[in-house]
Amino acid sequence: MAEMSAGRARLAVAMNDRRLELNLRWADVSERGGPTGTTLRALRRGDPTEVAPLTRARIARALEWDRKYVDALLGDGPLPVPAESAEDAALRDVMYIIRHESPQLTDHEREIALAWLRRPEARERVRAELTEAVLALARQG
């Protein structure tokens, strides 16, 4: 097997880190619209084939990255820092509130809420309810 390029190695490490950050299995990555299990294994092994544009887009979608971030990981330049969208920043803030400023929740309830927020289908609902929830918390505080 050929030696893994620096870009492919960065992509493999970044994909694994992000998968763990999102609390996903590799099968979950595929189910979220990512590449097939076979393609994911090939990417992680560093198989020398080119990473096709559609595969890059699927990786970005499944791991909630901007497509440009995947392209930058595969490039020869410095390691990119993923940009945080306004939605991600809002979710991060809500997750912080759930973790640290919700004493009425049990640890189990907190973990359920955090796991739900990580799901892709939660984003639409969170977007719709986020403003009201944050305002309600602000009124209580």
* Residues 12-67: tens digit of each pLDDT: 999 999 999 888 999 999 999 999 999 999 999 888 788 999 999 999 999 988 88
Same domain, 92 and 68: no
pLDDT digits (tens, 9 = 90+) for 77-125: 666 666 565 666 666 777 777 777 777 777 777 777 777 766 666 666 6
Q: How many domains does the chain have?
A: 2
pLDDT of residue 28: 94
Q: In this structure, is residue 106 part of a structural domain? A: yes
Query: Which of 22, 141, 25, 33 is closest to 91 using CA atoms?
Result: 22
**Which of the pair, 50 or 140, is modelled with greater confidence?**
50
Residues 19 and 56 in one domain: yes
Q: How is residue 121 written in tokens?
A: 């289908």
- H or E segment and range at residue 45: helix 37-45
Residue 16 lies in a domain: yes
Token readout for 1 is 């097997």
pTM value > 0.85: no
CA distances from 13 to 20, 28, 59, 66 (A): 11, 17, 13, 17
Nearest to 67 by CA among 34, 100, 106: 34
Q: What is the CA radius of gyration of the chain?
A: 18
Give residue 90's domain range: 86-140
Q: Which residues contact 97 (CB under 8 A, 6 or more apart)?
A: 134, 137
Query: Is position 128 within any domain?
Result: yes
pLDDT of 10 > 80? The answer is yes
